[in-house]
Amino acid sequence: MENHKKSPSLSLETKDIVIVKPSMPTPSEILSLSTIDNDPNINILCQTIYVYKPNLDFPNDKKDPACVIKEALSKALVYYYPLAGKITTLDDGKLGINCNGDGVPFLESNANCELSSLHYLEGIDVPTAQKLVFDNPSQDQTSPHPLVFKVTKFLCGGFTIGMGLSHSVCDGYGASQFYRALAELASGKNEPSLKPVWERERLTAKSTLKEQPFQFLIDKTSIATSPFLPTKEISHECFNLNGDTIKRLKMKLMKESDDGKHVIKENFTTLETLGAYVWKSKVKALKLNNDGKTMFCLAVGVRKLLDPPLHEGYYGNAFVASNVVLKVKELNEKPLFEIVKLIKESKKLPLNNEYIKNSINILETMRKRNIRIEGTGASLVLTDWRQLGLLQEVDFGWKDSVNIVPVPWNMFGFVDLCLFLPPNNLDPSMKGGVRIFVSLPKASMAKFKEEMEFLKVMKVDEDSS
């Protein structure tokens, strides 16, 4: 991630693993996961770190954050009892959860420094970030834990929560719903304000389904290739763009798209605008071949789009992909506003319930045929975390977290995934801004950085480049 001046080296004193069980008896059953949950590409443990400053308003209230979180977790697991079970493979080869109340592995550590000396993890390097999360301790990957925790306390009284959650069980909304429930119970509520709902059968392909003729959106022969891939040398960076920079880019697009005929100007969202810019920048940085094809793939939430909508408390994976496929040459040559329009159009696809159903059926066909999507660099898979409320409404008694840091996930070989994150709560100038988290081959990162820097100094009245 973006490198600050050298941080002090972080060393931890770690206690033994504790298993946190639900505070009351919970149902013992085997639950099936949905077809989207069963997508092998998301069968990973997603690690995220939440950063909390010391609570200076109550310096005498010496509550131990690890104890508070452990107790809240025990209560939360009564409602979210599948998370206290184990992921298992059912007889039909699909994933399920054995709700056996086994409990959640929990680690507690003490750090040798203050959080401020690590800049509250802003721009933290990956090896340091990895010390603050807990790798899945169930090494027999046949039945891993869907949830693991690590709480690290710093000398200043601040702390970090490293949460590892199986993407097969929750998507970003589900994770944020669970995390908020945890905070509510920690701050004294008797129950979460939003009750979880399982209902995974709502997003499951019909068993009578005839296998669809399957075709990749880009076939293997026409996919764009990069001279930098494959490689094991991957760089992970987080780029901060403030609200003014984004506003300028939108104004530039407005000018570009105004053809002088006084057409009603398009209203471009930040997601569409930055999505298009990052896609173009990434393709340039990777030097993808001109006649190859590249794809922009946006994860679109369908909770409210389904008819009838999913229950508000649904915490499984509920998204489908909307895609734009172009030849690299086309992407490079088209003005940015045209790319933005294509992305805007593609977002309308999931408004059609047939499209959602069809996407689920395709996933089932891929699962049956064991088709995995390899990370090639030719795709940009974008996930937007800005609306999840992960930096607000999560007060464990130490006010809202000041930062949230994803530890790189090995999804599509790292290189295809891009996250849009809310700005941290440390820098007032970032209000209305976005943090863009990307992973690229080390050799191509300098070019990508250049493209991001250009955005910050770009003048609106410049000729469109």
Which amino acids are annotated catalytic? 167, 395
CB 225 within 8 A of CB 288: yes
SS (H, E, C) 100-137: CCCCEEEEEEEECCCHHHHHHHCCCCHHHHHHCCCCCC
CA–chain centroid gap for 400, Å, is: 19
CB 163 within 8 A of CB 47: yes
Helix (H) or strand (E) holding 161: strand 159-166
CB 423 within 8 A of CB 430: yes
Among residues 376, 255, 279, the alpha carbon closest in space to that of 331 is found at 279
Helix (H) or strand (E) holding 333: helix 328-333
- How many whole angstroms separate alpha carbon 457 and alpha carbon 422? 22
SS3 state at 182:
helix
Helix (H) or strand (E) holding 421: strand 417-421
Please classify residue 328 by burial: count the beta carbons closer than 10 Å to its beta carbon, then call 0-12 exposed, 13-18 middle and 19+ buried.
buried
Most distant CA pair in the chain: distance in Å? 69
